[in-house]
Structure formats: C-alpha cells, structure tokens
Chain A
Amino acid sequence: MKYNSVFDIIGPVMIGPSSSHTAGAARIGKAARNLLGSEPTWAKIHLYGSFAKTYKGHGTDLALAGGLLGFETDDTRMAQSLVIAEEQSFHIQFIEDSAATDHPNTARLIVGNEKDSIELVGISIGGGKVEITELNGFELRLSGNHPAILIMHNDRFGAIASVTKILAKHEINIGHMEVNRKDVGKEALMVIEVDQNVEDSVLHELENADHIIQISKIVS
C-alpha cells in the first residue's frame, strides 16, 4: 500500500499552498540533499506536467530550493529560500520540460558540488507524500515510509553478503531490498529499507566493506 500511516493523511504540518506542489516538492529536495550527503552548490531542476505548468503559483521552486537547503515542510524560511540559496552562492536553475512522464507531478534534480553530483527523479503522489523513482540512472521505488540505506557498489560476488552481514551484526532488520545494475560487472545500486534509523558508525563500517563505492541514507 502506498500510504501506511494516518499521518500521511492528517498531515504534514506545512507552509501552504499545496501539499503536492509545495510540501511534496520540499521533501523531494530534502531527499536529494540527503542522497548527495554534503552541501550542494548547484542544481539543475527539470519540472514536468503539472509541476511545470503551475510551479510559480504553488511556490514549487521555493519548496524544492528549501528542501535542498535542508528545510522541513513547515519551515517559515520557505518563501525566502531562493534568496537564501543565492546568499550562500548556491545556484539553482529551473527548466520547464515538456517531455511526457508517467506521473503529473514529476521533477528531475541534478544536484552537486565541487566533489560530487547526483541525479534523481522524484514524484509527488498526493498529500505531501513522495517517491524517488530514479537515482543516477537506476530505477528504484523508494517510498520514504521507512529509513533507507542506498549503496552504490561494484557488481561483484560477495558485495551484498558483506553489507547484510554488517546489518545483521548490528541487529538491523531489512524490510525491503532491491538490487539493480547497469551491466554485468559494472556499477550497481542496493536499496535497503530498514525498520530503524541507522547510526553513522554503521554507515562508516559499510563504507569500508568490500566493493562498496558510496553510501547515503534517508531518514524517514
């Protein structure tokens, strides 16, 4: 089921005016920030469908920028987020894209800094709830219902086992897991939804495991 909590329906507490176009957009921005794992200095954001048609009226641009700055949905600085970004020399570009998408509220975010960059696609499915459907070219379905760990790794035998062994040692239960690769022996992505937030010390341990390239986490 897409929605699993009453607080998906009664909530979130948010700055208006639209749960899909404002609160949901802020959450997509925040997810991108978390996945980048460091302070972004630039972003290129493609907007599709209803996002592209109505983003100015709904403050979708302000909300995406706010999320990228780490704001929650009820942060009163939301209306000033683009000014705040500019003050921090964080450059954000919005592109109204006419390409067809499966969902009417879709955004593609390419976010980075001097060290790193990521590309993700997020959809805002209603009432402030979002899903991440693509990360760095990998298709995935990240609901945000649970905390998650995203692990970029090399497609080698033992990579998955080395990760799950560490999680088992720390008594962390896996609720949902998927593995996706670009080609045999190339880069691969492991998405693991867990029941509790994972400590940074565990993430460090995972980072040092065999064949692991990069790790990020999403807090639910």
Chain B
Amino acid sequence: MFRTVAELVEIAENENITISEVMIRQEMDVKNKSRQEVFDEMEKNLVVMEKAIEDSLKGVESVTGLTGGDAVRIQNYMKEHTPLSGHLVMDAVSKAMGTNEVNAAMGIICATPTAGSAGCVPGTLFAVKERLNPTREEMIRYLFTSGAFGFVVANNAFISGAAGGCQAEVGSAGAMASAAIVEMAGGTPQQCAEAFAITLKNMLGLVCDPVAGLVEVPCVKRNAAGSSLAIVSADMALAGVESRIPCDEVIGAMYRIGKTMPSALRETGEGGLADTPTGRFLKDKIFGMSD
C-alpha cells in the first residue's frame, strides 16, 4: 500500500502503469474485489457527478438564496462571448460552481474529497472531456487518479476544513484534479505529481471562513478558483515545469499550516469573511438572531 506520493509514482514507474492503475489494483487488493466491481462502484459516482452538473445547468437556488444560478449565468455568457480566460477554463468553472450550487441546495452530490470541495474534480472532468474526448473508462480512471492523490493527503494531513482550513478541502480537490487532468492528457506519473504540487502550493494558507457557517459563501466560488488553477497547473506540468518543493513536502507544509490555524478560521463561521460586516449581516438575516 502506498503511503506517499513518492511511493505512488515509484510503483507506477517501476511497473510501467498509470497512477489510476496503481489505485485500482490497490482497491481490488484491499477490498478483495474484481476489477469490474471496483469500476462499477466508481461509475456510480461518475453518474451522480454528471447528474449534479445537469441539474445545476437547469438553475438551482439554495434555501437561503445566498447561492445558485451562477453556473447558468456563466454558460449564457459563454454563448455570446469568447471568455478572456478561454472556453475550457470557464466551462470548468461553471460546472464546478454548479456542482456546489446543487450541494448548497441539499441536492445529491459525490464528495470529492469533501462536499464543500465537490466541484473541482467533476467540474474539470466534464470540461476537459469536451477537449480530449475520453472514453467512459478514461473518465472513470480520472476519478481513480484523483482519489489516489487524495488518499495520500487524507492519510498524511487532512481533508476537512474543520481540521485544516480550506487549503485541506479545495486545496486538495484542485490539486487532485490537476493530477487527473495530466494523466488524461497523456502526461507521466511524475508530471501528475508536479501538477498536484503546483496547485496545492498555491492554495496553502487558505482558511475556511463560511458565512453563517453555511457551505455557500465563499465555498462555491472557491471551487471556481480550485478548478481554474487545476487546469493551469496541469498545463504547466505538461510543459515540463517542475515544483522545486517535492509533492510530499508540500502536503507536509499544508498539514503544519493547518495545525497552527486558529479555530476561528477552521469552519466555525467565526473569522475571515464570516466576520465581515456583510458576513455578520447575512448571518443575522438568515438565522434571525445575533450572538
């Protein structure tokens, strides 16, 4: 069983297989299941992701009215304009935000690795799909590659905002997506690790400061940031850019930063954006009280 990204890449290189294949073989081994069973289970997650994006493009709104409708707004903009950041990036942003809009509206999503960060992996997948035309199997493999990297983060650091801030959630999710994009685009296992490291480095220190404690503001737009950064980092890695700090050390830094983060900035809804005049106003308006 691999414990670090270095071990994950080493197994892939030694056996001349992809990251997704390492993850699939490990899952078969741990759960004592066939390849087909493991694939089928992951395909169910893929179907949920696809459905959430479809639902979001019909337009959703959360109970509080704080979030919803931005995924549609961006899709409409793309029909009439050429986005400055490019079609693929904005498509990913729209689909990532859409997934989180559905989540905020208490719809059904697949946590990747968490619900608050559930937009990055499917958002990028369904945008990159339009460019790379993957097979269904390659789309499922995208999720195994994402999962392999998330697995290392979860076991060596954390993936929840309450434990480590948003860097642990959207930071991990965006980085997982970067690695998966690289594999789908034909990059090497090491390039997957470079892309992961580049994204996570640029998410270090990000706090979890949800307004009124709700997974809405700023969570939905942070998924936009995570997915756009994921695509840029993947391109950088595919171009041959390397992270000067190795991937596992970036994960270690994320862990130590999270450990020193005050609890007001770890999903208590007490600090950061939650503690702005507007943040406090919205909380009072939603819950009809102040404390």
Contacts and interface: CB of A to CB of B under 8 A. Distances in A.
A23 B115 contact: yes
A13 B118 CA distance: 10
Contact of B108 (A14, A58, A59, A124): A14
A137 interface: no
Contacts of B268: 49-50, 53-54, 104
| Chain A: interface size category | 35 or more
Interface in A114-172: 124-128
B103 A16 contact: yes
Interface in B104-118: 104-116, 118
Given A50-B268, A104-B163, A5 B27 contact: yes
B146 A127 contact: no
Contacts, number: 175
Interface string B39-77: 001101100100000000000000000000000000000
A84 to B, nearest CB: 15
B216 A3 contact: no
Given A54-B210, A56-B213, A127-B111, A104 B267 contact: yes
A127 B23 contact: no
A58 B213 contact: yes
B3 interface: yes
Contacts of B107: 15-16
Contacts of A125: 158, 160, 163
A11 B106 contact: no
Given A6-B144, A54-B268, A104-B162, A126 B108 contact: no
Given A5-B31, A6-B148, A10-B150, A19 B213 contact: no
Interface string A63-88: 00000000000101011000000000
Interface string A161-192: 00000000000000000000000000000000
Contacts of A74: 108
Nearest to B62: A17
B110 A3 contact: no
B48 A17 contact: no
Nearest to B64: A57
A105 B164 CA distance: 12
Contact of A6 (B27, B115, B160, B269): B27
Nearest to B151: A9
Interface string B155-172: 100111111000010000
B163 to A, nearest CB: 6
B175 interface: no
Contacts of A37: none
B182 interface: no
A49 B262 CA distance: 12
Interface of A: 1-23, 49-50, 53-54, 56-59, 74, 76, 78-79, 103-105, 124-128
18 contacts: A10-B113, A11-B110, A13-B109, A13-B111, A14-B115, A16-B102, A16-B105, A16-B118, A17-B115, A18-B114, A19-B118, A54-B210, A57-B269, A58-B215, A104-B162, A125-B160, A126-B158, A126-B159
Name the 3 nearest CB pairs between A and B, nearest first: A54-B213, A126-B160, A16-B103
